[in-house]
Amino acid sequence: MMQIMIQVMVLIVGLGLLNVWLVRANLKTAFRGGAATNLREEFSTYGLPTPVYYIVGFLKVSSALLLLAGLWYPSLTFPAALVIAVLMAGAVTMHMKVGDALMKALPASAMLIMSIIICLSAV
C-alpha cells in the first residue's frame, strides 16, 4: 500500500511540474508570485535574472521526466526527487521573499513535502 502511495506522489509531482512548465507557463494562476501573470514574470517578480528562469525550467522539466522514469528505473528516483525538493524549497523561499500570502506557496510546499517523502522512500 505504501509503495502505491509513493507512486501516486511521483505521478503528482512529475506530471504537476510538467503541467506548470510546459502547459501553463504562459497562463495566469492564483499561485503566481506577486502580481505575475506568467512564469517569466514570476521570476522577474522575485528579482531573478532571465538565465535563472531557463536554468530552473530545464532542471524542473528534466527532473520531472527522470522522476517519472524512476517508476521503471528506481535508481533515478532519489536524485530526481532531491533536485525537485531543493528547487521547491527555493520556490517557497521566493514566495516568502516577496511577501506572498501563504496560499500562493501551497503548491510549492506540497511538492516539497511529497519530494521529501519520495526521497526518504528511495533511500
* Per-residue pLDDT tens digits for 78-104: 999 999 999 999 999 999 999 999 999
Q: What is the pTM of this model?
A: 0.95
Burial of 118 (0-12, 13-18, 19+ CB in 10 A): buried
- Please count the structural domains in the chain: 1
Q: Which pLDDT score is estimated for 115?
A: 98
Give Cα separations from 42 to 30, 36, 73, 100, 112 (angstroms): 12, 5, 34, 12, 19
Say what the pLDDT of residue 21 is: 98
Task: Find the mean pLDDT for residues 20-43.
Answer: 95
Q: Where are the alpha helices (DSSP H) in 1-123?
A: 2-18, 39-45, 50-69, 77-97, 106-122
What is the mean pLDDT of the segment spanning 18-37?
A: 96
What is the residue whose three cell numbers read 522539466?
Answer: 61
**Is the pLDDT at 123 greater than 90, yes or no?**
no
- Domain extent at residue 12: 2-122
Mean pLDDT, to the nearest integer, of 52-77? 98
Residue 45 and residue 33 in contact, taking contact as beta carbons nearer than 8 Å: yes
CA atoms in the 13 A half-sphere facing the CB of 50: 0
